[in-house]
Structure 1
């Protein structure tokens, strides 16, 4: 029902039109039953006039049901497409930290499993709706035949419907409880695809993964759906049995209990037989519709941020004078234990034409600082100021346009999205040659890469190329050189960073390459989330200015 209300709320006009056509189709079906019943009982002649009436009603029923289904199908597909776009925009509008806490497996489950469940359910709504109008039309004909018989029929259907609803609702409850296992299954799938090398190389790890993670998850889903299917089967078969009981009562009991004529009895029996197909279809489709309702509930529980589709496209700033980090802090749970880790308070400044290295051991907070610095995380205390203006929720996205970053867990798209490669064709070819990618990758005028099937180091070079083309005032590189050979490390540290510096860019580099620390104008050292005074890189290096927490 929630899914139907969801469609009504988003497209009242088209749903009302489909309702009108559906009701007309149901009325035509009921009228056909009346014509057939009267013809069989001899109440009306079976000549050309009766045949014409039958043909007109059958044709009108076909046309009205057709248009009802066409309108509802168009509504279903349109809303499904809008739902996909909305979900994608909501994920992009939601703060990064909240998405990380939800986990990629839950987002993947929402984007694929929940959307698919809603698609299947929405696809059935036209069929369910038309069958429902047929049922209502037939019930209306029964009420017209005999009000007393109709009251008995309603009581019988209510009792039978209640008994049908109990196992049906139990099955839905089991599926709802098992929905969390679906997200865990996607987590297992990610473990298989992302960790395939580690699992192949270690048989004990592979066996433990199967026994302790993958098999329990799939087994829990299997048992849940098997249990639910038993309740669904019980409900459906009970519904079928109800028809047989009803027809038996009409034929053998009604003539002795109720004052009904042979015509009314024939009409009731024919109508009951005609009702069997649409009601059976309704009962079989209820479980699928229930899964769509559960998927809709799950999407709402993700608490994603609403996208601002009216916001204008922001232009990347060309320059800045000073970026101030004033006492920012961020607290989170470590990945490997339940202890809380606090980064900060951090105080530092960035200015154009300066190279700043961030160094420190693993887990010291370097990448977290990078995400705070770029505005991907919101600090819990303190503030960021760009040219004296505080960064707030209202201008955070504008602030993010100052940065171009290549993180250690970067993603390489199949095209240079948001760029105009045709206008940079000469620079683009020069970069490909310097990065020794011109023999492996070509880029057409639309910015589409000929391939991304490259080594990690080569993919990082392509990501660096895309970053260069963005031409932002501030650049951040998170362990970019970690997967490069010594020749490309020299190119990166001794040539490319210097070019960015001469171009007036502010460059922040997270690095463990102590052989290149002399390249930095400043070194920021982190230890357990705290800033320390940075050591001198080498005897030949100029004195380094370290920023220390106040």
Structure 2
């Protein structure tokens, strides 16, 4: 039971208070039943009825208090646990190796951390009430045993037969729930694609028609599976209700036939069995919520397993760290990274790479599309773990426990960087450097900084890239990495970048590593590194061949 594993671990570590409140509420339910049953025997005794009425009202008041405390405690603990689960999932994504996080995908992470965890929020209070209902049923059966042991056996017999039929239906419901979950994911993927490509679809009627037809097919498949689920749930609910009615009929019709009992006992036993109806209906009605929550929990745990990392906790104040900020050189020694193919074998390899970057230099990484430039940059940043070789700082290998300190040297603008208004990584905004950057990048007439955020990011692609560069430089890191940054700039600003901005960055002592195709400006670099077939050579040494791909071990 994945839901139980998840709740036991995070939400309901200390079940005792909740369970005690649930049992107390169930016992007060029994007090309501016994006071009503006793009143049926004292209809001609006004004093007795008055005493039982007081007991009934007091039990109702206490039941209301216990029920409220139980639900409030469950909600408070659950919401706290969901907050922990969401943050832990983000920490796991941050702690995991980048290839593992990318394999899971941002859409799946968002789905699990958002809508699917919300299913748990909706289901758990119902499950707590279901536990209370089970306790109420057991106490009612104990009370029924004090009236007639034969009546208990009759009820248990019908419940056993009904339980077998219900169990078969439950198995079918769980299978259908998994199918529905997959169908919803497929429809969500198609819908998201259409919404992300509205412009392209409007410009291509065939594309629009095919995408819509695909989404329609997925919606129809989801409709069929939901209809099957609804029909099966109707069968499940009907069998559950019929089981209850058969048990009640057994008391009324069978009990007098198989035992010598008076009418009063039959009436009281029947009333006790009828009192079980509400908790039974509660359990039956809550089962779809349980199935949805179980599916969500299974998906959450699967994502955790795919990330393959424990939550990355914030570093304790005063904890030892490695200071690489005074470095003279960065590099790689025989570093190799192999992208896994669909069959698990290596599909493309970059390396072995021997590389040294001197502090304050401007390095261009060039090469054809697919040659391995982005992979090389990710290796140098420590985002793709080297499967062979090592990262170097001043010629010394970077140990695994110092990798975070190493990564702190870099500010990066990737080709697909997502720019947000919030300047989370900025060190200081009070010395005028931000305004200087906006002026130098010719953005001060479009954007300002308010607090620790840009006033807007609703700009053209090239202007958004300039804001991303501003945000990266405000991190005050010694190394700036740019991935095709100038590709979205106008010819005027592209020239300004290579002829003015890069020299200005060099004058400030910032090491720049830029992936670029702009061969007209290759002379702006101190070093040009050419990537070919996963290998690396200096562009001024054309006689050095690129190494062949490394065979899988």
Does the alignment reach a TM-score above 0.5?
A: yes
Structure 2: distance between partners of 1:410 and 1:455: 14
1:489 Cα deviation from its structure 2 partner: 1.2
Structure 1, residues 313-352: CA drift from partner, whole Å, max 9, x if none?
77985331111211222222579xx981222222211111
Between stretches 215-224 and 89-98, larger displacement belongs to 215-224
Structure 2: distance between partners of 1:532 and 1:9: 52
1:235 Cα deviation from its structure 2 partner: 0.3
Task: Assess, with a 3 A threshold, how the Cα gap between structure 1 residues 193 and 497 changes in structure 2: closer, same or farther.
Answer: farther
Task: Assess, with a 3 A threshold, how the Cα gap between structure 1 residues 10 and 436 changes in structure 2: closer, same or farther.
Answer: same
Q: Look up the SS of the partner of 2:383 in the other structure.
A: coil
Structure 2: distance between partners of 1:375 and 1:297: 31
Between stretches 349-358 and 432-441, larger displacement belongs to 432-441
Task: Assess, with a 3 A threshold, how the Cα gap between structure 1 residues 532 and 190 changes in structure 2: closer, same or farther.
Answer: farther
Alignment match, 2:364: 357
Q: Look up the SS of the partner of 1:127 in the other structure.
A: helix
1:94-493 matched pairs, under 5 angstroms: 94-212=96-214, 214-302=215-303, 303=305, 304=307, 305-312=309-316, 317-332=324-339, 340-424=347-431, 426-445=432-451, 447-493=452-498
Structure 2: distance between partners of 1:430 and 1:364: 37
Structure 1, residues 500-522: CA drift from partner, whole Å, max 9, x if none?
22222221111111111010111
Residue 501 (structure 2) aligned to one of 485, 496, 501: 496
Structure 1, residues 375-406: CA drift from partner, whole Å, max 9, x if none?
11112222111123323432221211111110
Question: TM-score under structure 1 normalisation?
Answer: 0.91
1:546 Cα deviation from its structure 2 partner: 9.0
Q: Look up the SS of the partner of 2:426 in the other structure.
A: coil
Q: Look up the SS of the partner of 1:82 in the other structure.
A: helix
Q: Look up the SS of the partner of 1:394 in the other structure.
A: helix
Structure 2: distance between partners of 1:391 and 1:143: 72
1:62 Cα deviation from its structure 2 partner: 1.9
Q: Is the 8 A contact 2:426 2:476 kept in 1?
A: no
Alignment match, 2:36: 36
Alignment match, 1:541: none
Alignment match, 2:514: 509
Task: Assess, with a 3 A threshold, how the Cα gap between structure 1 residues 456 and 155 changes in structure 2: closer, same or farther.
Answer: same
CA RMSD, 1 decimal: 2.6
Q: Is the 8 A contact 1:494 1:519 kept in 2?
A: yes
Q: Is the 8 A contact 2:158 2:246 kept in 1?
A: no
Structure 1, residues 472-516: CA drift from partner, whole Å, max 9, x if none?
121110000001112211221112211222222221111111111
Residue 84 (structure 2) aligned to one of 76, 82, 87: 82
Q: Look up the SS of the partner of 2:415 in the other structure.
A: coil
Instruction: List gaps (5 residues or longer) in structure 1.
Output: 537-543
Alignment match, 1:540: none
Q: Is the 8 A contact 1:366 1:510 kept in 2?
A: yes
Task: Assess, with a 3 A threshold, how the Cα gap between structure 1 residues 260 and 79 changes in structure 2: closer, same or farther.
Answer: farther
Alignment match, 2:23: 23
Structure 1: distance between partners of 2:256 and 2:199: 76
1:545 Cα deviation from its structure 2 partner: 12
Structure 1, residues 361-382: CA drift from partner, whole Å, max 9, x if none?
1111111111111111112222
1:132 Cα deviation from its structure 2 partner: 2.8
1:197 Cα deviation from its structure 2 partner: 2.5
**Number of residue-to-residue matches in the alignment:** 538
Q: Is the 8 A contact 2:328 2:358 kept in 1?
A: yes
Q: Is the 8 A contact 2:438 2:444 kept in 1?
A: yes
Structure 1: distance between partners of 2:271 and 2:5: 33
Q: Look up the SS of the partner of 2:110 in the other structure.
A: helix
Q: Is the 8 A contact 2:7 2:13 kept in 1?
A: no
Structure 2: distance between partners of 1:535 and 1:276: 85
Q: Look up the SS of the partner of 2:337 in the other structure.
A: strand
1:162 Cα deviation from its structure 2 partner: 1.9
Structure 2: distance between partners of 1:416 and 1:55: 59
1:306 Cα deviation from its structure 2 partner: 1.3
1:264 Cα deviation from its structure 2 partner: 2.5
Structure 2: distance between partners of 1:295 and 1:384: 40
Structure 1: distance between partners of 2:314 and 2:46: 64
Structure 1: distance between partners of 2:505 and 2:44: 93
Task: Assess, with a 3 A threshold, how the Cα gap between structure 1 residues 13 and 306 changes in structure 2: closer, same or farther.
Answer: closer
Question: TM-score under structure 2 normalisation?
Answer: 0.91
Structure 1: distance between partners of 2:322 and 2:499: 31
Structure 2: distance between partners of 1:525 and 1:502: 25
Task: Assess, with a 3 A threshold, how the Cα gap between structure 1 residues 102 and 182 changes in structure 2: closer, same or farther.
Answer: farther
1:539-550 matched pairs, under 5 angstroms: none
Structure 1, residues 183-203: CA drift from partner, whole Å, max 9, x if none?
334433442233332222222
Structure 1, residues 114-153: CA drift from partner, whole Å, max 9, x if none?
2122222124233323333322322221122222321232
Structure 1: distance between partners of 2:429 and 2:513: 29
1:220 Cα deviation from its structure 2 partner: 3.1
Structure 1: distance between partners of 2:44 and 2:394: 90
Q: Is the 8 A contact 2:410 2:480 kept in 1?
A: yes
Residue 539 (structure 2) aligned to one of 534, 538, 545: 534
